[in-house]
Structure formats: structure tokens, C-alpha cells
Structure 1
Amino acid sequence: MSHKISHADRVLETAQSASAAAKSRVAASWHRSAVKHGLNPDERRAPDRIEQSSLHHRRLALEKLLSVAAPRLDALFSLVGQSGCAVFLTDVDGVILDQRLSAADGPAFEEWGLGTGANWSEEREGTNGIGTCLAEQRHVIIHQDEHFYTRNIGMSCIDAPIYGADGQIVGALDLSSARADQTEAFNRLIAAQVTQTARAIEAANFRAAYTSARIVVAESDDVEAATLLAINDNDLVIGATREARRVFGMSRTGALVARPAADILGREDGPTGFEKAEKAAVIRALARAGNNVSEAARQLGIGRATLYRRMKRLGLDGN
């Protein structure tokens, strides 16, 4: 008579295999969970939950991010809420700061321990969508028995990381379902929307961080990424999203040393994407102002003399 191996036994057996961890990202996460964090897949304790005062401080620290994320969480939930899915936003430690879920599904997610204040870091919960997304800083799908804990194998989690204006990871966007009939095909279908929403939150947060700067959208081979540059009135690049930093070879994280936009983007081979965007912005401003340079300069938030210099550089001075 054959003996069916339990989930916990399969996890521990795989976690101890060096070859399995090298070949599979899920196995590598199981290895971290069991060996590095010392977790037991059969443990039945509920997820840790921080106190309300601590949750309040964490929310205050990311107040701007939460504000710009809110309508985008609403939009994502409007697409998946009727399918028994819930949407969660966490900080970089895996603590859930905001959520969208239906009243009917609330008790089920509460039983799973998915709610504001819950800590779903990989260190505490082993392999799971939120924790593994943050640990590996990439979008992940953790489907049912890919979870580390036996008590979590009924859920599916789809996650994407969110990066701050300084290029550092600040949290994760999670879509979870506790439906037993959730399929891997459905997960893959929804994953694209989760990633797109995360990038939209990232872009909105970046714009909110540089409200006084001109935001330029640059080209990237990653069509899903937010590739944005913040440029001040002196044509200095003072901010860049994580993808823009990668594209233009800037420091990966932290504050940028202000540099002329032309030095970063170059003009040797004719108009760049930046120059085209700048020229288009000036042309639009002039059109709105009926070719009144003073009014166009006011719309752009720069001085009249500065606009004349830019028009000359961009070949818009009529000479």
C-alpha cells in the first residue's frame, strides 16, 4: 500500500536538497524558511499582528504612498473582488497596511490571518506571496501547496514589489484568493494586472515626490516599468525611478547628485527621447498660450528668458 507524503514532509525533504534549491525558486524559498529562519511547516500558530499604535506609525511613514495607492487599489479590487479575491498593500517588512476585500469574504481572510497589521514576511510566515516577493524583490505567484506552512496551502497569492522615489523597495502589492478552485492559469492572467497596478502606484508616488519638477517619461526595454525622470528648472536631473536609474546607469538607490539632463541623455545622434518630450511640451505650452511666450513660460513654471533659451536650443526660435 502506497503512503502519500505529507506537505510538511515534502517541504522539509526539498528544503534539505541543495540541487532542488538551485533549480527552483520555490525550493530555494523553502530552504530559507526551514534552514535560515528555522520554521516548521506544520506549525499552526496564527500570523503575528502588530499593535495598533505601531500600525499607525507605519502608515504615517508611508502616508503619501498610501494616498496615491488608494484609488489604484480600488480599481484593482473592482476587477477581482467578485471572484473571491482580496487586495493588500504592505510595507517593506511585510506588514499589511491597507486592504480591499468584500464583507462576505472578510471572515475567510481573517481566519487566514490576512488583514491590516498582520506580518507576512518570509521570516515569520515562510514561503508566501508577500514575504517571498519582498525577499527576492520580484513579482511572484505562490499557488496553494507552494506555500511553506501547511495551514496556508489553500490560498493563492500574486505579488509585485513597489519601489520608492529613491529606488529602494518600499512594499508589496498582494492579491490573494482562498478559493480552492483557483487555477494557475487564472493566476497568470491576473498577475499582469497586479504588476501593472504596482507600477502605476510607483509612478504616482514618484510624481508626488517631485511636484515642483518636470516629469519626463523615458524609453525602456521593460514596457511594464515606470521609467521616469524628474528635471528641475535648471534642466538638472534630480530624481529617477528605479528603472530610469538602470537605463541611464545611475546609482541604484538613494538621493541623486544633480546632473545636467543633456549629460545623462546625450544628443550625439540627434534628438533623444528626452529632447522630443521636452520639445513637445514647449510646443503644447505655446499652442495653449496662442504663441504668447510669456504666458507659455508661466504655464511651464519657468522664466521668459529661460523659455527663450530652450526654444533656441530646440530649434523653435524661428531662426
Structure 2
Amino acid sequence: MYPGAMKDRHEAVVEEVLHCSASAAHSLVAASWCRSGLKHGLDAGADRVPDLVSASDLIQRRQRCELMLEVARPLLDQLFQIVSATGCAVMLSDNDGVVLEARSLAGDRELFDRIGLTPGGVWSESREGTNGIGTCLIEGRPVTIHRDEHFASRNTGISCMDAPVRDATGQLVGALDISNCRYDHSAAMGMLVQKIVQDAARRIESGIFRAHFASYRIIDANLPGGDAALLAVDRDDLVIGATFAARHRFKLTNACLGGRRTASNILGGEEATSFADSERAFLRRALARADGNATKAAKELGIGRATLYRRMERVGLQRR
């Protein structure tokens, strides 16, 4: 089938899905196609030049993502060394789908630049339709968009393997992407690369979390082969930070991370039950168990509320 016929066939398939959107309930790609065509009004057959933000906009976006980029750049270099021989490019976007950093071989760079997979390129789903970066950001999970799974026929020569990147508070801040434009890049190869992308994204998230909470103790609660489940703990064993994976695994809310729960409690360990620990730590743990209620904490400790307040004042704890 010659390229023109392939293009027509792809657009016909997209149109069929848009006219029978029930398939969107069962397929990530079909759901994304429906968003692209029905919500964003995109035309699968449109021929247009790539969207690029201005140089000043790109600088501002990089400044806003400074911590992520500082952690990610050496990892992007390592990742590129692993996959470059297969013609893959490595990219990191912000949460708007704008490419902030890109790595590609000199011989492939012209092609990637021409299609917009280059710093400043805009790959949100609302601009490019179904694609690795944009769809990963919408779904908030790893995705592979292989060739004709793209919405726009102009992008069906690309295979994209992506994983989301989250900051120290669990918020989505970008997408890590490996893309390939060679015809011999198979779906099976894409599955292998997807595993590499996910592992690298976990390493970036861990690095961001450790840098953000550099002055606190970090507890690694990862299971073998699991996500980056990390907790940040203060000197009294109270948890003050958790990665997205840790929040999900231990069902932690922002309220839980305000110094109200101990690491021992979250991880299922034994807690100290006497003043043999520092009195300050003991009082903070009691208050954490009581969700900050001084009356309840005093009752649990077997002392009066006034006594609790005196002890809190002595060790430098503020009343809430």
C-alpha cells in the first residue's frame, strides 16, 4: 500500500471510531481519538507545521521546572546512551506537553526537528491529538502510542513510549518520552523500551523527592519491581512527605502528611510507648494519633490537658 493509500485508510479508521465512540470505553487509543476529534475538533488528515513555543517561553518553562531538569539531565544522558543505537530520541516535557530537553543522534536530528520532537515543540493532546507525550499527561500513566495509533496521519511514522513524572508532592510535572521514527521499530521493541522509560521516570521522581526533602530522613518503602514509594520523616518519626506511589500504596492524604502520622504507624511497626524517647517526640506522636486534639492526647497519656500544655511548652511545641 503506497503512502497516500495508507493515509486515506488511517483517516477512514479514525472517522469510523469517531462515529461509533462506544469503543472509547474499552480502548485507551479510541478514547484519545475521540477526545482529539470530538472534544478538540482536530482533523486527522490536516497537514500543518509543528507548533513551537518562543525561545523566551521555553526559557521560562525550564526555569519553572528547574528542579526536575537538574535531576533529570544526567539520567537523560544515560538513557540516550542505552537507546540511541536503535534510532531513538529521548525527550522530557513539562505538564503542558512542551518539550524542554531532547537527545538524538546527529543523523536523526533533522527528522525529529522537522516533526517537532525538539525543544519547544508542543505535544499536548489538544494540539497534536493522540501522541505519547500528550496522552501520557492526560492519562497520568505510562502509555505507548505505536505508529498508526496516533490520531494525526502525519504522525503515524512515529512510535512513542512515555511515562509520567511527578514532583515531591505527587503532582504531575512532565512526561518522559522515547520516540523512534524508523520503520523497523516494532511493537515488540516498543514494549521493551516502555519498561526502560518507566524505570527512568521512577528514578527521576525519586531524585526530585530526595532533593526536595534533602534535610529529612528518607524511608524507601519500595517493593521489588515497584514504583518510587518514598517517605520523608522528621526527627520525631512524623511523616511530612510522600511520593505519589507512597501516597497511593498507604492511602495518604495531604492531611496525613502534616506531621499527624508516624512512619511506624504507616508502615505497621511498633511505636514507642514511654517517655524513654525524647519527651518532645513522644508528645508529638501522641498528638498525631489524636489528630491534633490536645484533650484526646492528654487523656490517652493519662495526664490533664494543662499538664500536657506545660510539657509542650517546655519542649518547644506550639499549641494548635
With the length of structure 1 as denominator, give the TM-score of the two structures.
0.80
Q: Which residue, out of 209, 217, 220, partners 2:220? A: 217
- Please give the residue correspondences for 1:178-197 in structure 2 after superposition, counting only pairs within 5 Å: 178-197=181-200
Match of 1:13 in 2: 16
1:28 aligns with 2:25: no
CA-to-partner distance for each residue in 1:240-289, whole Å, 9 max, x for gaps?
000111122112x6993122323333335x99xxxxxxxxxxxxxxxxxx
Q: Which residue, out of 133, 139, 144, partners 2:136? A: 133
Distance 1:212 1:175 in 2: 33
Q: Which residue, out of 70, 77, 93, partners 2:96? A: 93
Q: Secondary structure at the match of 2:120?
A: coil
CA-to-partner distance for each residue in 1:122-181, whole Å, 9 max, x for gaps?
010000000000011110110100000010000100000011100111100000001011
Distance 1:208 1:231 in 2: 14
Match of 2:244 in 1: 242
Please give the root-mean-square deviation of Cα atoms over the aligned residues, in Å. 2.2
Q: Which residue, out of 250, 265, 269, partners 1:263? A: 265
Match of 2:148 in 1: 145
Cα offset, 1:102, TM superposition: 1.2
**Count of paired positions:** 270
Cα offset, 1:234, TM superposition: 2.2
CA contact (8 A) 2:95 2:175 kept: yes
CA contact (8 A) 1:166 1:255 kept: no
Cα offset, 1:235, TM superposition: 1.7
Report the CA distance shift for 1:254/1:193 in structure 2 as closer, same or farther (over 3 A). Answer: farther
User: Matched residues, percent identical?
Assistant: 47
1:46 aligns with 2:49: yes
Cα offset, 1:217, TM superposition: 0.5
Distance 2:185 2:256 in 1: 42
Match of 1:281 in 2: none
Distance 1:70 1:33 in 2: 31
CA contact (8 A) 2:216 2:232 kept: yes
Report the CA distance shift for 1:92/1:172 in structure 2 as closer, same or farther (over 3 A). Answer: same
CA contact (8 A) 1:141 1:156 kept: yes
The amino acid across from 1:112 in the alignment is: I
Match of 2:125 in 1: 122
Distance 1:46 1:122 in 2: 16
Q: Secondary structure at the match of 2:85?
A: helix
CA contact (8 A) 2:222 2:228 kept: no
Distance 1:224 1:263 in 2: 21
Distance 1:189 1:230 in 2: 32
Cα offset, 1:7, TM superposition: 1.0
CA-to-partner distance for each residue in 1:276-305, whole Å, 9 max, x for gaps?
xxxxxxxxxxxxxxxxxxxxxxxxxxxxx9
Distance 1:159 1:254 in 2: 31
Match of 2:163 in 1: 160
Structure 1 ranges of 4+ moved more than 4 A? none
Report the CA distance shift for 1:71/1:254 in structure 2 as closer, same or farther (over 3 A). Answer: farther
Distance 1:115 1:128 in 2: 15
Distance 1:105 1:85 in 2: 9
Distance 1:37 1:47 in 2: 17
Q: 5+ unaligned residues in a row in structure 2: which ranges? A: 283-320
Distance 1:120 1:143 in 2: 15
Report the CA distance shift for 1:176/1:229 in structure 2 as closer, same or farther (over 3 A). Answer: same
The amino acid across from 1:104 in the alignment is: G
Q: Secondary structure at the match of 2:232?
A: strand
The amino acid across from 2:167 in the alignment is: G
The amino acid across from 2:134 in the alignment is: G
Distance 1:66 1:254 in 2: 29
Distance 1:37 1:140 in 2: 20
Q: 5+ unaligned residues in a row in structure 1: which ranges? A: 272-304, 311-319
The amino acid across from 1:66 in the alignment is: L
Distance 1:72 1:83 in 2: 18
CA contact (8 A) 2:168 2:208 kept: yes
